[in-house]
Structure 1
């Protein structure tokens, strides 16, 4: 399968996206535009809206009144093919903890249609088809998820923290595989992660997500002034640390400090003795308005 881009100039085209569960906004005026072949990492604290953004791009949550186009089509009205969403929930599904072999699972996902791609993914993610899912570790289970999820060639891949269980070598090989996919097929990736080590040369874009909106979107082409300053600081200090990793951590520190200052003006919950924030309200709203059922295999 080769990707055709003649029908669209942007793989992701989101403009002024707002979303809530009936209470405070989770996404607030969020905009994101990415050309085909982009590799964009989303950087933000827990609760910043990264997961919700990815699920909306994947058509997992319905919105109205905002432009949300992927691969040139409205994600809800004309759901495009070729979009793959992989999140952390899959590994907790009881089905994938039962006595099923990896070979059986891959066959059920159509591995016979893409034999060369299947073998490549098994090699990259170091997966043995003889494994049985009730006997493997969380890290091995995650690798099986990635093989299954990426068997069918995709045009837009949405990754939500799915490399957290991978060891360093497997993660490096996996990221190299994804980079090759974008460069050879023109596929696009949006990747939310808190693990920035080894990402210095990987992304084409870095997006800073704060309180439900993208406050910064940078390209890795030398015009990213904060990153260039971080590189210069590292050279001056003879540091071998990744400038991108250091900058992402600095963003997260600023977000944390901003949250702490905001919490000082937040009322105290009489039951817990802790600040009652909008995220407490969102947690309650999710039980009422969130998805009651979720297809983790999709």
Structure 2
């Protein structure tokens, strides 16, 4: 990893990505630059490309013709150390659902080398090291994943919806830990989520990923125009982040509906057809 503190922690320039050549791009002309110590929330509708962007940054998808780097290193060919990606697909891996004790599981990935941080995370995440992985709930399994991923000294953290299974208390304690890590160690966090309660004090920036395109990065809290009392009052509202996300998502839905309409497509119910009735009568699972 370079020692040049001026090199961005995350640097994406004009990234366009399609899963196959015949599909519309999942990401189109995305540009995003974050410096060390930044904590950025990625906000966007389902299918906006949030998970795809995070997986690309984690070096899990090959890209061509775009700059996508962490600390100046190409993310696919030369991903630097200190990058941790935590996504939802982890919990569906059969290995993590096997009959293995949590303490053994953590030791198998080097927990004994990070005892102090591991033990602190075990307390924050309220994990019982005597749990058996195949006997615990999805939320408890998620806590083990977070402990496993965060106990090392990471420099860039990529989080994709991994707090969705956590209860409110554990999630709040985890967010406090992440903010502290970012401030003390100058670590950078890119966090995609649909849950905004309790997050107003977390981000330094917010990124609106709109139908695969990243709109300009905004600092958080938003700048308040001088003398605008109503805006100032809204910004002090702990739910202001939620309301901003809600406004953006409504805007995204209207934009997507307009595009779909222009292409002769739409979501929702369609007119009843004879074929549908025939299919239902043939496969009536209620009887």
**Superposition TM-score, scaled by structure 2 size:** 0.86
Inter-CA distance 171–5: structure 2 relative to 1 (3 Å threshold):
farther
Describe the superposition over 1:72-106 as per-residue Cα deviations: whole angstroms up to 9, x where unpaired: 21112322111111100011111111111100100
Describe the superposition over 1:95-140 as per-residue Cα deviations: whole angstroms up to 9, x where unpaired: 1111111001001011110110110110111101001111111110
Tell me, in whole angstroms, the C-alpha distance in 2 between the residues paired with 1:209 and 1:224.
Answer: 23
Tell me, in whole angstroms, the C-alpha distance in 1 between the residues paired with 2:220 and 2:238.
Answer: 17
Q: Could you tell me whether the CA contact under 8 Å between 2:224 and 2:232 is conserved in 1?
A: no
Tell me, in whole angstroms, the C-alpha distance in 1 between the residues paired with 2:182 and 2:173.
Answer: 15
Matched, 1:11 2:9: yes
- Give the 3-state SS of the residue equivalent to 1:114 in structure 2: helix
Q: Give the counterpart of 1:254 among 227, 247, 251.
A: 251
Inter-CA distance 248–230: structure 2 relative to 1 (3 Å threshold):
farther
The answer for unaligned runs of 5 or more in structure 2 is 272-287
Matched, 1:178 2:190: no
Structure 2 residue aligned with 1:167:
167
The structural deviation recorded for 1:212 is 1.1
Q: Pairwise mapping of residues 222-261 of structure 1 onto structure 2 (< 5 A)?
A: 222-223=222-223, 231-232=231-232, 234=234, 241-261=238-258
Matched, 1:129 2:129: yes
The structural deviation recorded for 1:233 is 5.5
Q: Pairwise mapping of residues 15-94 of structure 1 onto structure 2 (< 5 A)?
A: 15-21=13-19, 22=21, 23-94=23-94
Instruction: Name the count of aligned residue pairs.
Output: 265
Q: Could you tell me whether the CA contact under 8 Å between 1:234 and 1:240 is conserved in 2?
A: yes
Describe the superposition over 1:1-46 as per-residue Cα deviations: whole angstroms up to 9, x where unpaired: xx98436521011110111122211111000000100000000001
- Give the 3-state SS of the residue equivalent to 1:25 in structure 2: coil
- Give the 3-state SS of the residue equivalent to 2:26 in structure 1: strand
Inter-CA distance 78–125: structure 2 relative to 1 (3 Å threshold):
same
The structure whose Rg is larger is: 2
Structure 2 residue aligned with 1:148:
148
Q: Could you tell me whether the CA contact under 8 Å between 1:11 and 1:188 is conserved in 2?
A: yes
Structure 1 residue aligned with 2:113:
113
Q: Could you tell me whether the CA contact under 8 Å between 1:42 and 1:193 is conserved in 2?
A: yes
- Give the 3-state SS of the residue equivalent to 2:244 in structure 1: helix
Tell me, in whole angstroms, the C-alpha distance in 2 between the residues paired with 1:261 and 1:158.
Answer: 32
Q: Could you tell me whether the CA contact under 8 Å between 1:37 and 1:182 is conserved in 2?
A: yes
Tell me, in whole angstroms, the C-alpha distance in 2 between the residues paired with 1:76 and 1:195.
Answer: 29
- Give the 3-state SS of the residue equivalent to 2:201 in structure 1: coil
Q: Could you tell me whether the CA contact under 8 Å between 1:230 and 1:246 is conserved in 2?
A: no
Q: Could you tell me whether the CA contact under 8 Å between 1:109 and 1:148 is conserved in 2?
A: yes
The answer for unaligned runs of 5 or more in structure 1 is 275-298
